[in-house]
């Protein structure tokens, strides 16, 4: 069943036409990813579908009674509320029904005659059935599950929304949207500000979601694992492809080649016909002139094909000016604290020539801080990091602090390479799509993606033999990310990159460094290999020489302790599940008694049952929360 469709949707801002002919349809339950270069109109389309903007032309149809939820890039959650209160707003109808049921219970306990008791009991039974249909018993558990899945702790539930960072507020907006369970969800970059665990949780949640989804994302791994179709915005139009992102890439290449070939063949045919018409006319005879006019009429009726749009892509390669020694980097017992908080301690690892390593870990574990220590932009509290012979490191800072916002694009690059001629600098910038007067634009006026391209230009010109890349794919569109991956594939040096882009990690990495507060664990292979090994019961592969002997001994001891803890957690989880079953059974018994009018002949008994029922409900909620905590601890113990 089609739940949403558009026909020739159009939208302009001033004289700039952003969308000129958007026509597509979505089936109920379909999950479509929106792709396209930055500025192609993806966010504008979502705002049109949500009703925040009005189209200049075309038709938009959404099924009657279908609810729409929208996650914008900017959060829209009330900052004056506590986190839990902000989430409870979603369930006001259920909470109001709870109050009615509680009032009825009190009224039944106070009923003075059988007729009133029967009438109240019937009302109670009807409301209770409605409460069950609305899954009223589950909403508190849902809130806990969604908030914890997106990386919030119970200690944060009582904090005001306004006390969180911008990224955390966006995560809270996402949590509230998911709890609303609209028929159609519109999402603009939902994986921004999520760590890898939270993204994996969101993927699982959306795959179980029964509604329809339209999502803008540069996270190609996310699009691969969530989407059932891809809509590409190009030249103000949409081309829709069935399948996930990988399917789209293959079909897109085939479609482009077929359209380009058809266009070129038609152009050859038109050129040939025009030449024949001109030759006939040159004869200047009545018969030849009529033949020319006849062919011209046929030619005028030909429906001209448009040349398929080929969006401009950046094109560059990384080279290494020097060859490094075999030992590129040695890190031993590195630690760093800020005020009373220890970010990490005892960090040990080695990099060898040719390693292509992805550094991953939870947000806040200190990955970017580690890079700043390696680049001598920050001092460690203890331990040391030493580069090997002839190692020349280059650094990509995700916050673009190496750029002077007051200087032009050209001067930002030229100041770092004063020996180059202007045409050489402009040539390098041209590879990253900075042409003409664009090179004189101040960096302060650039988008995030444009700033990233300036930094990549400088990195390319430096020709370092070690690249330290901190979230290099942030702000880049999908095509630019693919070009970066190709450049890194041909790079002869060593790479250590922080990234949440799992698709990018799969393309370049041959090792994964998983960082926590106390150690770095080494996994051989790319991200998919890491997931496979991480989910296996045996310990992950360790790199020889990657850890000190003291750290290896400490890990073995920790492993034995974790096995004992795991058995204890399994037993505790079984006990918790049994207690939940017993509580549910007792609640069912009490519900039967409370639905019986005879119960209210004994007011004390009715009141006692009502109190016990409330206690059993509270006990269930507490047990569910305890079970979730135990499950999280088990996952942590198994990883």
The reported pLDDT for the residue numbered 554 is 54
State the burial class of residue 478 (Cβ atoms within 10 Å of its Cβ: 0-12, 13-18, 19+).
Answer: buried
pLDDT digits (tens, 9 = 90+) for 331-342: 999 999 988 888
The reported pLDDT for the residue numbered 552 is 52
The reported pLDDT for the residue numbered 118 is 85
CA distances from 47 to 53, 55, 70, 72, 178 (A): 6, 10, 9, 9, 19
Look at the block and give the residue holding tokens 């994302």: 217
Structure tokens belonging to residue 636: 């942590």
Q: In what order do the strands lie in the sheet with 57-62?
A: 57-62, 2-13, 16-27, 237-242, 229-234, 31-35, 212-216, 184-188, 68-71
Q: Point out the least confidently predicted range of 130-134, 250-254, 311-315, 505-509.
A: 311-315
Q: Are 248 and 241 spatial neighbours (Cβ–Cβ below 8 Å)?
A: yes
Q: Are 352 and 329 spatial neighbours (Cβ–Cβ below 8 Å)?
A: no
> Could you tell me the pLDDT band of residue 53, with boundaries at 50, 70 and 90?
very high
The reported pLDDT for the residue numbered 560 is 60
Average pLDDT of the residues in 183-208: 90
Q: Are 270 and 296 spatial neighbours (Cβ–Cβ below 8 Å)?
A: no
Q: Pairing mode, if any, of strands 2-13 and 16-27?
A: antiparallel
The upper half-sphere exposure of residue 566, i.e. CA atoms within 13 Å in the direction of its Cβ, equals 13
The reported pLDDT for the residue numbered 544 is 43
The reported pLDDT for the residue numbered 169 is 87
Alpha-carbon gap, residue 208 to 204, rounded angstroms: 6
Average pLDDT of the residues in 276-289: 87
**Which of 101-105, 137-141, 211-215 holds the top average pLDDT?**
211-215
- Which residues does 31 contact at the CB level (< 8 Å), separation at least 6? 206, 212, 213, 215, 226, 227, 228, 229
> Could you tell me the pLDDT band of residue 630, with boundaries at 50, 70 and 90?
confident
The dihedral region occupied by 106, where left means phi > 0, alpha psi between -120 and 50, and beta the remainder, is: alpha
Residue 639 has pLDDT above 60, yes or no: no
The reported pLDDT for the residue numbered 543 is 46
Alpha-carbon gap, residue 486 to 488, rounded angstroms: 5
**Which of 215-229, 285-299, 531-545, 549-563 holds the top average pLDDT?**
215-229
Alpha-carbon gap, residue 529 to 406, rounded angstroms: 44
Q: Are 262 and 66 spatial neighbours (Cβ–Cβ below 8 Å)?
A: no
Q: Longest C-alpha distance within the chain, in Å?
A: 116
DSSP class of residue 445 equals: G
Nearest to 311 by CA among 235, 421, 369, 259: 235
Question: Higher confidence at residue 613 or residue 416?
Answer: 416
Average pLDDT of the residues in 94-118: 85
**Which of 6-10, 108-112, 257-261, 606-610 holds the top average pLDDT?**
6-10
**590 φ, ψ to 5°?**
-65, -40
> Could you tell me the pLDDT band of residue 465, with boundaries at 50, 70 and 90?
very high
The reported pLDDT for the residue numbered 613 is 78
Q: Are 432 and 476 spatial neighbours (Cβ–Cβ below 8 Å)?
A: no
The reported pLDDT for the residue numbered 253 is 84
Q: Which residues pair with 248 in a beta bridge?
A: none
Helix axes 139-149, 603-638, angle to 10 degrees: 20
pLDDT digits (tens, 9 = 90+) for 369-392: 999 999 999 999 999 999 999 999
pLDDT digits (tens, 9 = 90+) for 392-440: 999 999 888 889 999 999 999 999 999 899 999 999 898 888 888 889 9
Question: Higher confidence at residue 481 or residue 167?
Answer: 481
Q: Are 396 and 488 spatial neighbours (Cβ–Cβ below 8 Å)?
A: no
Residue 82 has pLDDT above 70, yes or no: yes
Alpha-carbon gap, residue 596 to 265, rounded angstroms: 82
Look at the block and give the residue holding tokens 């330290």: 468
Nearest to 633 by CA among 571, 546, 553, 542: 571
- Please provide the size of the chain in residues: 639
> Could you tell me the pLDDT band of residue 353, with boundaries at 50, 70 and 90?
very high
Q: Point out the least confidently predicted range of 202-211, 384-393, 599-608.
A: 599-608
Q: HEC profile for 78-89?
A: CCCCEHHHHHHH
The reported pLDDT for the residue numbered 313 is 65
pTM passes above 0.75: no
The upper half-sphere exposure of residue 416, i.e. CA atoms within 13 Å in the direction of its Cβ, equals 21
Average pLDDT of the residues in 575-582: 80
pLDDT digits (tens, 9 = 90+) for 531-566: 888 877 555 545 444 454 445 555 555 556 666 677
Q: Point out the least confidently predicted range of 279-293, 428-442, 475-489, 537-551.
A: 537-551
Q: Residue 386: which H helix or E strand, with range?
A: strand 382-387
């Amino acid at each position: 069943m089609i739940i949403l469709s558009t026909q020739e949707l159009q939208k302009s801002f001033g004289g700039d036409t952003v969308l000129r002919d958007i026509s597509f349809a979505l089936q109920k339950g379909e999950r479509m990813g929106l792709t396209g270069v930055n500025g192609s109109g993806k966010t504008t389309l979502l705002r049109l579908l949500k009703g925040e903007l009005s189209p200049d032309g075309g038709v938009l149809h959404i099924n009657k009674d279908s609810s729409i939820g929208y996650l914008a890039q900017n959060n829209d959650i009330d900052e004056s509320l506590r986190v839990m209160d902000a989430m409870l707003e979603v369930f006001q109808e259920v909470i109001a029904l709870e109050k009615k049921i509680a009032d009825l219970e009190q009224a039944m306990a106070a009923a003075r005659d059988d007729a009133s008791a029967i009438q109240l009991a019937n009302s109670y039974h009807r409301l209770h059935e409605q409460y069950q249909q609305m899954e009223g018993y589950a909403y508190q558990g849902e809130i806990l599950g969604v908030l914890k899945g997106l990386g919030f702790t119970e200690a944060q539930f009582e904090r005001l929304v306004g006390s969180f960072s911008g990224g955390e507020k966006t995560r809270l907006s996402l949590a509230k949207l998911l709890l609303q369970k609209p028929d159609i969800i519109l999402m603009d970059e939902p994986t921004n500000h999520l760590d890898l665990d939270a993204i994996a949780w969101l993927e699982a949640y959306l795959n179980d979601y029964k509604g329809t989804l339209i999502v803008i994302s540069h996270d190609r791994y996310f699009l691969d694992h969530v989407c059932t179709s891809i809509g590409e915005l190009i030249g103000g139009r949409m081309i829709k492809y069935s399948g996930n992102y990988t399917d789209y890439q293959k079909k897109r290449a085939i479609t482009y080649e077929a359209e380009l070939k058809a266009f070129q063949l038609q152009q050859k045919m038109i050129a040939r016909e025009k030449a024949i018409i001109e030759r006939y006319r040159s004869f200047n005879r009545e018969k030849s002139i009529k033949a020319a006019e006849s062919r011209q009429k046929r030619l005028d009726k030909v429906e001209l094909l448009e040349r398929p749009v080929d969006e401009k892509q950046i094109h560059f390669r990384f080279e290494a000016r020097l060859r490094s020694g075999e030992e590129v980097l040695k890190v031993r017992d590195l630690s760093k604290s800020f005020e009373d908080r220890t970010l990490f301690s005892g960090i040990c690892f080695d990099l060898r020539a040719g390693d292509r390593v992805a550094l991953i870990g939870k947000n806040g574990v200190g990955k970017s801080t580690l890079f700043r220590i390696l680049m001598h932009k920050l001092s460690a509290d203890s331990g040391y990091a030493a580069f090997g012979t002839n190692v020349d490191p280059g650094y990509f800072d995700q916050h673009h602090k190496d750029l002077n916002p007051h200087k032009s694009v050209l001067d930002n690059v030229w100041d770092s390479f004063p020996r180059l001629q202007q045409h050489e600098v402009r040539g390098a910038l041209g590879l990253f799509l900075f042409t003409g007067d664009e090179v004189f634009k101040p960096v302060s006026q650039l988008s995030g993606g444009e700033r990233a391209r300036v930094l990549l230009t400088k990195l390319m010109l430096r020709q370092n033999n070690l690249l330290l890349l901190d979230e290099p794919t942030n702000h880049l569109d999908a095509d630019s990310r693919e070009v970066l991956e190709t450049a890194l594939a041909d790079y002869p040096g060593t790479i250590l990159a922080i990234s949440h882009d799992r698709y990018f990690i799969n393309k370049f990495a041959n090792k994964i460094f998983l960082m926590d507060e106390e150690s770095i664990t080494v996994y051989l292979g790319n991200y998919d290999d890491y997931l496979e090994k991480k989910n296996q019961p045996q310990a992950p592969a360790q790199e020889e020489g990657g850890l000190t002997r003291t750290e290896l001994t400490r890990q073995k001891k920790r492993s034995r302790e974790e096995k004992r803890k795991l058995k204890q957690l399994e037993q505790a989880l079984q006990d918790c599940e049994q207690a939940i079953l017993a509580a549910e059974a007792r609640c069912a018994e009490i519900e039967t008694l409370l639905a019986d009018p005879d119960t209210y002949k004994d007011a004390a008994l009715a009141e006692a049952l009502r109190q016990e029922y409330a206690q059993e409900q509270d006990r269930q909620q507490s047990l569910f929360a305890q079970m979730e905590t135990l499950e999280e601890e088990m996952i942590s113990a198994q990883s």
